[in-house]
Amino acid sequence: MENFLFFFEAMPNWQKLVWIVFVLGGFWILEGYYALVKFRYNKWKHAKTNFLLLGFVLAINILFGLLTVGIFIWLENSQFGLLQLIALPIWLELILAIMMLDLIAQYFVHFLLHKVKWMWRLHLIHHTDTHVDATTGTRHHPFDFIIRESFALIAVIITGMPVAFYLFYRILSVFFTYFTHANIKLPEFIDKGLSYVIVTPNMHKFHHHYQLPWTDSNYGNMLSIWDRIFGTFVYEKTENIRYGIDIVEDKNADNIKYQLGIPFNRNIKTKN
């Protein structure tokens, strides 16, 4: 197990970038053969907007990387965190760390992004996509992503996890981000069965419906248990889903300048 985790700790940045390209590209190709929704759109034009936003995300990752290194050095020296209080097998510590990260850095912060007015305005850009596909996983306002990264570091500090746990979580998170947003159709019995444990493509699509109450459901990224525990789980008929958000006009979905300005556009009236 130590050797397995060391692989992720020693993983160079170029390999992490290759992993992103491999997972995103793989699901993007699969969409062409096993599509849940038969979109009539310019796939490359749509992707251009989301890839530009991915560029912002990667730049922010570099800055947060420096902060993250400092936090892990402090944790190692101080022995701070819940995992430092008890001795557990390393595999169990890894599972607990991933669960804590998924709860705080995914479910909880995502819930706040929908419920706190100023956060919701930042998060709107993720919901304005009218053609949800694998690239939608990269579609975040830079300030939205900064909030998410901050909560991830809060989870790291609370648990006192080693850096290898965090890096392994990040690799898993990349897979689930593109898997759950991908416009792919799994057999319903497989998708629904998996949704008892993990977030699936069908499950997450309800979150991208243009109206409440589905918009405020299925907040999870990896594990579906948080939505089930906190009563935010939805699983209905996917043919009833319409993408986008009802408070922003669909025509501007691929306008990058307009999208970046959404949080500051007072013509957009939010629910809160």
CB 127 within 8 A of CB 215: yes
Q: Within the chain, what is the greatest distance between any pair of CA atoms?
A: 55
Q: Residue 125: its pLDDT value, please?
A: 95
**How many Å apart are CA 199 and CA 180, to the nearest integer?**
7
Q: How far apart are CA 241 and CA 95, in angstroms?
A: 33
- pLDDT above 80: residue 101: yes
89 pLDDT tier (thresholds 50, 70, 90):
very high
Can you say whether the dihedral through the CA atoms of 181, 185, 186, 187 is positive or negative?
Answer: positive
User: Mean pLDDT lowest for which of 19-28, 58-67, 160-169, 187-196?
Assistant: 58-67
Over range 100-110, report the average pLDDT.
97
In this structure, is the dihedral angle defined by the CA atoms of residues 51, 52, 55 and 57, taken in order, positive or negative? negative
- The pLDDT assigned to 200 comes to 97
Q: Average pLDDT, stretch 104-131?
A: 96
Q: What's the mean pLDDT in 127-150?
A: 94
pLDDT for res 267: 81
Q: What residue has token string 């169990």?
A: 92
Phi and psi at 79, nearest 5°, equal 55, 35
pTM: 0.93
Determine the pLDDT at residue 61. Answer: 83
Distance CA 66, CA 248 (A): 36
3-state SS of the chain is CHHHHHHHHCCCHHHHHHHHHHHHHHHHHHCCCCCCCCCCCCHHHHHHHHHHHHHHHHHHHHHHHHHHHHHHHHHHHHCCCHHHCCCCCHHHHHHHHHHHHHHHHHHHHHHHHHHCHHHHHHHHHHHCCCCCCHHHHHCCCHHHHHHHHHHHHHHHHHHCCCHHHHHHHHHHHHHHHHHHHCCCCCCHHHHHHHCCCECCHHHHHHHCECCCCHHHCCCCCCECHHHHHCCCCCCCCHHHCCECCCCCCHHHCCCHHHHHHHHHCCCCCCCC
Q: Decide: residue 19, CB within 10 A, 0-12 exposed, 13-18 middle, 19+ buried.
A: middle
Contact (Cβ atoms closer than 8 angstroms) between residue 101 and residue 155: yes
**Structural contact between residues 172 and 222, judged by C-beta atoms closer than 8 angstroms:** yes
Contact 179, 24 (CB under 8 A): no
Whether the Cβ atoms of residue 103 and residue 226 lie closer than 8 Å to each other: yes
pLDDT of 64 reads 84
Taking the C-alpha atoms of residue 19 and residue 25, their distance in angstroms, rounded to an integer, is 10
Summarize the confidence of residues 249-262 as an average pLDDT. Answer: 91
Burial of 92 from C-beta contacts in 10 A (0-12 / 13-18 / 19+): exposed
